[in-house]
Amino acid sequence: MELPPPYCPLPSAVNPARERVERQAVATRYDKRAYIFLGTVTLAALIIWLRT
């Protein structure tokens, strides 16, 4: 029986709190211009899509 390595970061599927913190930047950000907000949401969706 092998022991796991001393440090192994948990994937985000095991640690959903990490994803909430990452998404919080988009959720709490306030932009005055609609196109900046749309770009921020699009970028966040693209990052989430590429990670899956």
5-32 residue pLDDT tens: 666 565 555 666 666 666 665 655 666 7
- Rounded to whole angstroms, how far apart are CA atoms 46 and 16? 18
1 compared with 33, residue with greater pLDDT: 33
pLDDT at 30: 64
pLDDT at 33: 78
Is the pTM higher than 0.75? The answer reads no
Q: Which residues of 26-44 are buried (b: 16+ CB within 10 A; e: fewer)?
A: eeeeeeeeeeeeeeeeeeb
